[in-house]
Amino acid sequence: MRLRLKLVSIHFIVLLMLSVSFVVYVPKEAYGSTTTLEGLGDISRYNAVVFGNHKAIGGDIEGAIAVQGDMDASGYTIVGAAAETSNIVGEKWVDEGYPSLLLSGKLKKSREESFIIQNGIVVMTKESDPDRIIQSSYDRIVYKEKLEIDAKFNEFRNIVNQVSKNAGQYKTNTPIPNMSHGIGKDINNPNIYVSSELTGKISVDIRDVFLPNAKDKDFIVMYSDAIEVTFKNGSILYDTNNIGKATDIVPTSQPYSPNSPFTELYGKMIWVFPNAKKITTEGYGVVGSVFAPNAVLETKGGSINGQAFVGAVQQTGGFEFHNFKFNWKHWNKPSTGKVKIKKVDSNNDNKKLVGAKFKIEDLNGKIVGELVTNEEGEAISKDLPIGNYTLVEKEAPKSYELSKDKITVKIEKDAVVEIKIGNKKLPDPMGKMKLVKVDTGDKNKKLAGAKFHIEDSNKKVIGELVTDEKGEVISKDLPIGNYTLVEIEAPKGYELLKDKITVKIEKDAEVEIKIGNKKLSDPMGKMKLVKVDISDKNKKLAGAKFHIEDAKGKVVGELITDEKGEMISKDLPIGNYTLVEIEAPKGYELLKDKIAVKIEKDTVVEIKIENKKLPDPTGQFEIEKVDDKDSELKLKGAVFQVLDKEGKELSRLITDEKGKVISNQLAIGKYTIKEIKAPNGYMLLRDPIEIEITEAVKTQKITVKNAKHNWVIPNTGGSGTTIFYVIGIMLMFGVLYFCKKNRIL
């Protein structure tokens, strides 16, 4: 009896052990947690992203993991940093509604060992857990389509590739003494340290690494284009006290401390291996994040203290991913500064210069910005990544020399570098004007004694000219620009010039202006023209144009009546003149008769001239009515209304045998044509036709198409519509009976 009980107990224990080896362990605090998924999360939420398969025998990952391929995990723990233990190396993992495990492939266990998910939501496809390893004992599962999950991995890969590309652009030519792999400041961004001795090799062995103090720096970038990378037994040492020597070993197995000087280092350190096919760790504690999207990570113990982005993982030897995050926010927005320029007169710092235009070039000569000074002579750049830049003036302030010197500027973190730049004023370009005064009737007759004022653009008198016996005078040097000559005293016996003369002075030029004066004539008089409608003498006519001809038939003037129908001539020598109308007021006949006018001394002779109104212009239209399918088929009997713009009916038109009808003569304007009766067998035209009668076309032709209707009209004398009435009454009684039966009414 005892033996049998003992055998049963052994079988039970074995069965229990087998069961435990397959179970997914869920800690007490995870039960009852929400399964609400906030999303798949961004790249910063994952301790490791594996673009291929992940096989793990022993070990753990303290943070969340994303696996695009298949996952084979035995004796493995996910989000170990979610547990309430004191031996967590990285930051504590907190459930914020994002996956602790994101799986696109399938999960299996090749060994009879435990697989533990400490907390969080598992996101996978419905095909990801064929052996129900998770489903049998874990209920915080959200299923997604593989297409959606793979899209997230594509997003991650693009980000990793961009980081690799950007990291490969950092270069240094000033390695720091006592530090490993030629680490030094980037030539463009002194806030970034970058290695210089890990490139150009097929394989790289990394042992002890000596790092400079990075407290005031953004990142330490370790970049290699090697195909194979091995982290051999060794340590990473840090210049904690900034003494020029790395003497302190960076711990990779001690409990997490937010105040440790090394905690910040984990987020700043980055290992970038874009070409690597294989990365091996031999008990090595890698400090910082690893970007190797094409590499298989083979571990033989050790840890990565940061995020890992790899092609595949063969995790053995108790290897761990410690939950430290790369400083994504700072990487995506690197340290910046600005440059501010102040543009002044080189001889007077208080004179600020507007309109100076500079381009900002980086060390490669690429234009990365532009500055244009404002009214205060100032301009400030946008945020620029820290480093060295060159300012090149491409447009000087007006009237100033262009600066030929290129100005070097060093942009520093969170600083505004201020530069005062002086420009030398250009000498004012000068020119002159030469005035020649002549008789308007005899250009060879030069006139002395004409006196002019020279006014600048502000109408300020800045000079005076008086013609000599040759009728000439030359001004002093004048700054280039526009000037006005105003005659203030005419030559003796000549009329004073009323018009102001505009002169443009150009650089190093002498502008010659020949100005004629009219000799004072015999006694003068004027004529006043009044233009009226012949039928309504109170209606004054504007726009009548007349030539004034002297006794010899020479045109000596022109008159155009204003809105009052009036126009007064200039002074005319006394004598006989003829008025010839060359353009009638709009809508009036041109006057054929010439009108004789006698000008007398110091008088204004008034002449009232009448014009006859032209008949109002008219036009008409012709409608042609045709079948819409066959334009050769003309339609008789269509009746149209002709409406004016107020909608008043003016006439009705009926198409003849040829389908045509012509309207009466209509005044210029807009009309509406509305079909009120269609030809027999045709549908009535729905839309009215809008038309405008203009002077340009005497008869407008309109083709109107009508469609045949398909109605079938019952023959009279037969049953007619009676049968329809009978059917309607029967349907009505049927509805009433149905409603009563169902007690609807």
pLDDT tens track for 56-72: 999 999 999 999 999 99
Of 133, 70, 141, nearest to 100 (Cα)? 141
Note the pLDDT of residue 709: 82
Position 22 pLDDT exceeds 60: no
Of 705, 702, 704, nearest to 691 (Cα)? 702
DSSP helix, strand, coil percent of the chain (3-state; round to 5): 10, 40, 45
Cα separation, 137 vs 26, in Å, equals 8
For residue 569, which amino acid is it? Answer: S
Cα separation, 255 vs 156, in Å, equals 30
Reported as a pLDDT band with limits 50, 70 and 90, residue 441 is: confident
Q: Are 433 and 441 in contact (CB under 8 A)?
A: no
Cα separation, 119 vs 360, in Å, equals 52
Task: Please give the backbone phi and psi of residue 260, each rounded to the nearest 5 degrees, phi first.
Answer: -65, 140
* Tens-digit pLDDT profile for residues 352-398: 999 999 999 998 899 999 999 999 999 999 999 888 999 999 999 99
Indicate the burial class of 548 (C-beta count within 10 angstroms; 0-12, 13-18, 19 or more).
Answer: buried
* H-state helical runs in 542-628: none
Taking phi first (over 0 means left), then psi (-120 to 50 degrees means alpha), and beta for anything else, what does residue 376 get? alpha
Note the pLDDT of residue 745: 42
Note the pLDDT of residue 140: 94
Position 700 pLDDT exceeds 70: yes
Q: State the average pLDDT over residues 611-626.
A: 90
* Tens-digit pLDDT profile for residues 122-138: 999 999 999 999 998 89
Note the pLDDT of residue 47: 98
Rounded-to-10 torsion of CA 194, 200, 201, 206: -10
pLDDT above 70 covers what percent of the chain? 90
Q: Are 700 and 693 in contact (CB under 8 A)?
A: yes
Position 27 pLDDT exceeds 60: no
CB proximity list for 532: less than 8 A, separation 6 or greater: 538, 539, 540, 541, 565, 608, 609, 610, 611
Task: State both tokens at 300.
Answer: 């033989």
Note the pLDDT of residue 738: 63
Reported as a pLDDT band with limits 50, 70 and 90, residue 520 is: confident
Cα separation, 418 vs 440, in Å, equals 64
The secondary structure of 659-727, three-state, reads: CEEECCCEECEEEEEEEEECCCCECCCCCCEEEEECCCCCEEEEEEEECECCCCCCCCCCCCCHHHHHH
Between the two ends of the chain, the Cα-to-Cα distance in Å is 85
The predicted model scores a pTM of 0.52
Of 386, 299, 284, nearest to 336 (Cα)? 386
Reported as a pLDDT band with limits 50, 70 and 90, residue 727 is: low
* Tens-digit pLDDT profile for residues 82-122: 877 666 889 999 999 999 999 999 999 888 888 999 999 99
DSSP letters for 94-147: --SSSEEEEESS-EE-SSS--EEE-SSEEEE-TTS-TT-TTTTT---EEE--HH
Secondary structure of residue 455 in the 3-state scheme: strand
Element holding 15 (H helix, E strand) = helix 2-22
CA 326-332-337 angle, 5° bins: 120
DSSP letter, residue 588: B
Position 723 pLDDT exceeds 70: no
Reported as a pLDDT band with limits 50, 70 and 90, residue 17 is: very low
Of 426, 399, 435, 433, nearest to 505 (Cα)? 433
For residue 303, which amino acid is it? Answer: S
DSSP letters for 391-445: EEEEEPPTTBPPP---EEEEE-TT-EEEEEEEEPBPPPPEEEEEEEEEESS-TT-
* Tens-digit pLDDT profile for residues 229-283: 999 988 999 999 999 999 999 999 888 888 888 899 999 999 999 999 999 999 9
Q: Which has more confidence, 378 or 723?
A: 378
Q: State the average pLDDT over residues 152-181.
A: 96
Reported as a pLDDT band with limits 50, 70 and 90, residue 729 is: low
Note the pLDDT of residue 467: 95
Mean pLDDT across the chain: 89
Note the pLDDT of residue 728: 63
Note the pLDDT of residue 332: 83
Reported as a pLDDT band with limits 50, 70 and 90, residue 678 is: very high
